[in-house]
Amino acid sequence: MKLSAFLFSLPGIVMFLLCITPHAAAHGDEIPTDPGVAKDHFTAYGQSDRYELTLYYPEITAGKETHLVLFIADYKSNRPVEGAELKIGITGDPKINFEATALSPGVYEIHGIFPENKAYTVTVKISHPNGADLIGIAGVEAGKTLHAGETLHEASHAEAGQWWWFLGGLLSGALIVWFVGRRRRRVATAVLLLASAWFSAPTWNPAYAHGDDDHEHKTGNAYGKTVYTPKETQFLFEIVTQPVVTGDYQPATTMFGTIIPASGGLGVVVAPQNGRITRLNAGVGQVVRAGQALAVLEQNISMPEGVGVAGSNAALAVQIETAKVREAAAEREYARLKKIEDIAAAKDVLAAEAAWRQARSERQTLEQKAIGANAAANRRTVVLTAPISGVVGDFTLTPGAEVIAGQTLITITNLNKVYVEAQVYDRDVPVVHDGNKFIVTCSNDDHKSAEVRLISPAQTMNPGNQSQRVLFEMDNPKGEFKIGEFVTVKALNRQSSRQITVPNAAITEINGKPAIFLKESPEQFSLSYVQTGEDDGTRTLILKGLEEGGKVVVNGAYEVKMMYLNQ
């Protein structure tokens, strides 16, 4: 009885498993590179070892003028080819020619008439300083229509296929009910019937998309290993590629440093005395030259307490005191004669009065002169000039502002040449010598780099971490490196090896792992996870995940990454 029950239920179990197995599998490498990816136009491609052509064209009606858009890119770098002279025709009919007009760098509009509804090969003859070439673009079909409802039709077809599985499950379940019902197992068979029908329903039969990345489980939006990128988007985001080749690689020792001003690279204008700013001739960010007048300072020199108005001029003070004595003597003589005016001669009285008045006038004149000299000494103006040539930094001075002696008024920075102060530990001291090459790279994502020169070996120690301070000199004509910026110093060893490297800008990070993007076709890029090694400040050694012969994205990798993650 138990054996018969097992045999009777086995067909139901088998049918149940068959009903839940038809899952459609779509693979992530099915992104096409031929017309049909874009829904508003057709696409055709052509290329040589110099140029890469991408042609967008709408529905072509024979005998009517058609406008097409041609993208011309450098085959190796993917940069737009600007200023090319084009001669465009059709294979097999030399009488048919098309006119081309440049729209933007690398983008050309083509218009002409296709005589018949059939497939054509468009020939493009290119004349350019990079070299002349003749390239054919096959598969341009006149008379072909764009099917906007193609996706809906395919979805309906897939849904119809799932309903066939549903009906098949019901029919198989009915047969099981009839067969097993003869053994009075109606409850169990009914359950099998319902289960087989439910598991064969379209809502329980999803299509799973699998990439080629070992079929690992992903949360969130699923994505494969390729991304479709229209040519116009590539030109817009300046996506540039570079061939992957094996080249010379120099191992490097990494050190860390800071940008500091070079000798004569930082000038400071200080107030020489207390005073008031009367005029400003410079503004923040202005480029000035050494010796240029920046401001005018009116000094205030206080006289010591107890010093008279003529204390700043000893000779003038003596003259004033002498005039005072003469005035006093003349005044006494005039007063004496005035008392005996009735018996004194009138002319003597008048002469005494005149002498007194003259002495008083001389004394007043000398005192006024002393006051003017003292005022001039107390209010002397000083012109403040630029100590070096450079750019004026931030300041808050205004005309009329009071300043004190020793106050920093204006700073001037010259970034044409800067120093790099690097911290070198004992293990790295052997590589810091004049024979090696040194590269400085900024510590952020800008990937700026420049070569530096060793000017001073270690002279002092950092008491905090016992590292040695080494000075390098760097030319910085564009001012890309700023004072106080943290940098990485790479000491390149003399010995080199032949290995695959890519520019640092080509490496991005996805799911916490280093990755690069390779160009697979004119409008398709693929993701490749890589194992990285050392870098020399500009290029990184690739240990695994990359082979020679491909084309890696070296500019615009971030934009390709965003399109990859959002597809």
Residue 349's CATH number: 1.10.287
pLDDT of residue 129: 93
Handedness of CA 12, 16, 17, 19 (dihedral sign): positive
Q: In CATH, what number is assigned to the domain containing residue 124?
A: 2.60.40.1930
From the CB of residue 169, how many other CB atoms can be counted at a distance below 10 Å? 24
- Say if residue 370 is in the same domain as residue 395: no
pLDDT of residue 303: 46
Determine the structural domain holding residue 114 and report its residue range: 42-141
pLDDT of residue 206: 40
Q: What is the mean pLDDT of residues 66-89?
A: 94
**Closest alpha carbon to 281 in 298, 266, 296, 260:** 296
| pLDDT exceeds cutoff 50 at 219 | no
Task: Name the pLDDT band for 21 (thresholds 50, 70, 90).
Answer: very low
In a domain, 221, yes or no: no
In a domain, 30, yes or no: no
Domain boundary among 475, 492, 509: 492
Mean confidence (pLDDT) of the chain: 78
Q: In CATH, what number is assigned to the domain containing residue 517?
A: 2.40.420.20
- Say if residue 456 is in the same domain as residue 548: no
- Entry pTM: 0.52
pLDDT of residue 395: 87
Domain boundary among 469, 492, 515: 492
Q: Which is higher by pLDDT, 557 or 342? A: 557
pLDDT of residue 533: 86
In a domain, 340, yes or no: yes
Task: Name the pLDDT band for 445 (thresholds 50, 70, 90).
Answer: low
Task: Name the pLDDT band for 292 (thresholds 50, 70, 90).
Answer: very high
Task: Name the pLDDT band for 338 (thresholds 50, 70, 90).
Answer: confident
- Say if residue 52 is in the same domain as residue 120: yes
| pLDDT exceeds cutoff 80 at 26 | no
In a domain, 558, yes or no: yes
In a domain, 436, yes or no: yes
Domain boundary among 327, 361, 378: 378
- Say if residue 281 is in the same domain as residue 390: yes
Structural domain total, the chain: 6
Asked if 86 and 244 touch (Cβ cutoff 8 Å), the reply is no
- Say if residue 292 is in the same domain as residue 396: yes
pLDDT of residue 494: 67
- Say if residue 17 is in the same domain as residue 156: yes
- Say if residue 81 is in the same domain as residue 200: no
pLDDT of residue 16: 42
Instruction: Let me know the angle formed at the C-alpha of 318 by 312 and 324, rounded to the nearest 5 degrees.
Output: 120
> Which CA distances in Å does 561 have to 79, 238, 498, 541?
19, 14, 29, 21
Residues 6+ apart with CB under 8 A from 106: 71, 72, 73, 79, 80, 81, 82, 235
Q: What is the mean pLDDT of residues 45-54?
A: 94
- Say if residue 72 is in the same domain as residue 84: yes
Which tens digits make up the pLDDT trace of 90-102?
998 888 889 999 9
Q: What is the mean pLDDT of residues 519-523?
A: 92
Q: What is the mean pLDDT of residues 229-235?
A: 93
Asked if 282 and 384 touch (Cβ cutoff 8 Å), the reply is no
Strand 293-299 and strand 275-280: pairing?
Answer: antiparallel
Q: Which is higher by pLDDT, 473 or 168? A: 473
In a domain, 218, yes or no: no
- Say if residue 243 is in the same domain as residue 288: no
Q: What is the mean pLDDT of residues 113-126?
A: 93
pLDDT of residue 348: 81
| pLDDT exceeds cutoff 70 at 335 | yes
Which tens digits make up the pLDDT trace of 362-406?
888 888 887 776 665 555 788 999 999 999 988 888 888 899 988
Task: Name the pLDDT band for 437 (thresholds 50, 70, 90).
Answer: confident
Q: In CATH, what number is assigned to the domain containing residue 393?
A: 2.40.50.100
pLDDT of residue 232: 92
Q: Give the DSSP per-residue string, 284-339.
A: TT-EE-TT-EEEEEEE--PPPTT--TTTT-HHHHHHHHHHHHHHHHHHHHHHHHHH
- Say if residue 420 is in the same domain as residue 543: no
pLDDT of residue 166: 54
In a domain, 124, yes or no: yes
| pLDDT exceeds cutoff 80 at 214 | no
Q: In CATH, what number is assigned to the domain containing residue 470?
A: 2.40.30.170
In angstroms, rounded to a whole number, what is the distance separating the alpha carbons of residues 411 and 515? 45
Q: Which residue has the tokens 């300043």?
A: 403
pLDDT of residue 167: 61
In a domain, 428, yes or no: yes
| pLDDT exceeds cutoff 60 at 484 | yes
- Say if residue 483 is in the same domain as residue 507: no
- Say if residue 163 is in the same domain as residue 198: yes
